[in-house]
Chains A and B, each alone.
Chain A
Amino acid sequence: MAHDHDHSVSPHPESKDHPVRDWESREAAIRDLLIEKGVLDAGEIRRKIEEWEQKTPALGARIVARAWCDPAFEARLLADANAAAGELGIDARGVKIVALKNTPSLHHVVVCTLCSCYPRTVLGLPPAWYKSKAYRSRAVSEPRKVLAEFGTVLPEGVELRVADSTADCRYLVLPVRPAGTDSLSEEALAQLVTRDAMIGVAQASPPA
């Protein structure tokens, strides 16, 4: 029997501190077959994991900070976020990204109720809570309560708009520029733009 050996589980140490789950066995079996048949090698898989894990929300923060400083760039970002990212040397080719602009009277929050769709090319990998069933179900049915649990209490007069990433677009929230930041450089502004602000569960941080 060709496959009576143990399949290698994920090379990630955090995956090994619990019993192997069905989906992990399935992933390992498919991966071993791809390697055995010469479709991929283990190094390519490792490099791809590394490449994705090296992308961070700092990329998205640069995009937001530029949009705050340059209204013409903001307009291009809202029209074609992938191309706007490219202008800053950020490789956001692939899946379409749509920027959602927050204003003092409109706040966006992003979720993927069906799985874990996320603008990975500009934010990196999603946080664990973004993939949890609790967030995925409650962010659509009681979003104000969820935001409040993140410490973000929206006034009654602000419209909250939930964006559920169901298909071929990924959503990036363009937060409101905090007050008192007129004198800050673009680099300093980028420090105020956190991952959570670009998901929409928080506002951009006030200046220190």
Chain B
Amino acid sequence: MVEPAFKPGMMVRVRDIPVKGHMRTPAYVRGRQGWIEGLQGTFPNPERRAYGADGLPPVPLYLVRFRQSDLWPGYDGSDSLVLDIFEHWLERAEKTHGP
């Protein structure tokens, strides 16, 4: 069992890794800051399984939440967006705002 590096409530930034192919982190959140809502579990890495590897060891997968106003220019209000991001895409961010 891989020990998850992030805990609920922690501010994180999505790494802006210039890779293409079967990646599970969409471009619109790369480089953006959000916070950990929870851990979804650990899963074999689909970004490696897509190319014939076994994807092991399993990677922690987090539910990460973003303010819509941090993602889209001109988006007002308190709407938010959640998506699942694998640990290797995340780094700690300074706490500017959050939950």
Q: Please report A residues at the B interface, Cβ cutoff 8 Å.
A: 96, 98, 113-114, 140-144, 156, 159-169
- A-B interface contact total, Cβ < 8 Å: 67
Given A156-B77, A159-B78, the answer on whether A167 and B85 have CB atoms closer than 8 Å is yes
- B41 interface neighbour in A96, A113, A114, Cβ under 8 Å: A96
Q: Name the one of A142, A156, A161, A166 contacting B26, with C-beta atoms under 8 angstroms.
A: A166
CB pair B81 A161 closer than 8 Å: yes
**Other-chain residue from B25, B28, B43 in contact with A140 (beta carbon distance below 8 A):** B28
CA of A164 to CA of B83, assembled, Å: 5
Give me 11 other A-B pairs in contact (C-beta within 8 A), A140-B28, A159-B78 excluded: A96-B41, A113-B26, A113-B28, A140-B81, A144-B79, A160-B79, A163-B81, A166-B25, A167-B84, A168-B40, A168-B46
Write the B56-99 contact mask toward A (1 if CB under 8 angstroms, else 0): 00000101010010011000011111111110000000000000
* B41 closest partner in A (C-beta): A96
- The verdict on A162 contacting B40 (CB below 8 Å), with A140-B81, A143-B79, A167-B85 known, is no
Q: Give the size category of B's interface with A.
A: 20 to 34
Cβ A169 vs Cβ B40 within 8 A: yes
In the assembled complex, B7 has its CB within 8 A of some CB on chain A:
no
* Cα of A156 to Cα of B81 in the assembled complex, Å: 16
7 CB-based A-B contacts, threshold 8 Å: A141-B71, A160-B68, A163-B83, A164-B81, A167-B24, A167-B43, A167-B61
Task: Establish whether residues B85 and A162, one from each chain, have CB atoms under 8 Å apart when the complex forms.
Answer: no
Knowing A96-B40, A96-B41, say if A166 contacts B80 (CB, 8 Å).
no
Minimum distance in angstroms from A137 CB to a CB of chain B:
9
CA distance A156 to B78 in the complex (A): 9
Q: Tell me which residues across on chain B come within 8 A of A162, comparing CB atoms.
A: 68, 79-82
- Can you name the residue of chain A whose Cβ is closest to the Cβ of B23? A114
Instruction: Provide the residues of chain B in CB contact with A167, threshold 8 Å.
Output: 24, 40, 43, 46, 61, 84-86
Chain B residue numbers with a CB within 8 Å of A160 are 68, 79
Q: Which of A143, A161, A164, A168 contacts B61 (CB 8 A)?
A: A168
Tell me the B27-56 residues at the A interface (CB within 8 Å).
Answer: 28, 40-41, 43, 46
Given A114-B24, A140-B28, A159-B78, decide whether A166 and B83 contact each other with a Cβ distance below 8 A. yes
Give every chain A residue within 8 A of B82 (Cβ-Cβ). 161-164
Interface positions of B from 1 to 40, Cβ below 8 Å from A = 24-26, 28, 40
A136 to chain B, nearest CB (A): 10
CA A114 – CA B41 in complex, angstroms? 21
Shortest Cβ-Cβ A-B pairs, 4 listed: A167-B84, A164-B83, A168-B43, A162-B81
| CA of A163 to CA of B67, assembled, Å | 12
Chain B contacts of A164 at CB under 8 A?
Answer: 26, 81-83
